[in-house]
Amino acid sequence: DGEIEFDNVTFSYDKRTTALNGISFKVPKGSSVALVGESGSGKSTILRLLYRFYDLAEGGGRILIDGQDIRDVTQKSLRASIGVVPQDSVLFNSSIGYNIGYGKFGASPQEIEEAAKSAQMHERITSFPDGYDTKVGERGVRLSGGEKQRVAIARTLLKNPPILLLDEATSALDTSTEKDIQKALQNLVQGRSSLSIAHRLSTIASADLILVLKDGRIVEQGTHTELLALD
């Protein structure tokens, strides 16, 4: 499962502005959709509504997962099927292994190691975000922004949800880990339905569908190749 559908979704946070205006699209099971558009165009609102940080008003359209209105399932079971990788991941002041293990209650050390490997974080599994390493017993290098993101990716891999919401970092990440992040993201997105607020060129280029948003509406859509051909 994991097919997502937005059916004529209109949403306002307050009376003055319309954040989303008649948004319709489908994310077929296992496919990836990239959301692009300037700040304030509605990208985050799409993710927030799917995760039910806010509910649609009567007459504001519908959001469906596998044909079922998300208001008809409990928030708990909805959120169990969705993995979220935020722009800035806040980590516990504990080992990377512990931070990854948080993704799944009762995960075995082997499972945690496996997830860490898929996100290229296994070499730092015993170190803390601030660099302190429990095994070495001394302070090493602090985690970079890219590494923190890979911890969040590993945590989500462990949770293993059919649906993913990704908010890619706008800030320039350390280029040395760019390849590692790309690979970790590939491992995560593979086989899941994903909606990404996309800033990385690799994410946009590999998306099955790109939605270009402006003022709460979809103004263009297609694959990377199709959109390039529009000029």
Instruction: Give the interface with ligand ADP as residue ranges (CB under 6 A).
Output: 13-14, 17, 19, 37, 39-45
Residue among 147 and 167 whose Cβ is closer to ligand ADP: 167
Structure tokens, 96: 């990377």
Distance of CA 17 to the CA centre of its chain: 26
Structure tokens, 32: 């990836």
Residue 67 to residues 10, 137, 208, 218, Cα–Cα distance (Å): 19, 52, 20, 22
Distance of CA 114 to the CA centre of its chain: 20
Residue 110 to residues 65, 113, 115, 122, 136, Cα–Cα distance (Å): 32, 5, 9, 11, 21
- Give least dist CB 122 to ligand ADP, A: 32
Residue among 41 and 193 whose Cβ is closer to ligand ADP: 41
Residue among 70 and 213 whose Cβ is closer to ligand ADP: 213
Q: Using CA atoms, how far apart are residues 139 and 191, in angstroms rounded to an integer?
A: 38
- Give least dist CB 60 to ligand ADP, A: 14
- Give least dist CB 194 to ligand ADP, A: 16
- Give least dist CB 121 to ligand ADP, A: 26
Q: How many other CB atoms are there within 10 angstroms of residue 161's CB atom?
A: 18
Residue among 14 and 138 whose Cβ is closer to ligand ADP: 14
Residue among 121 and 213 whose Cβ is closer to ligand ADP: 213
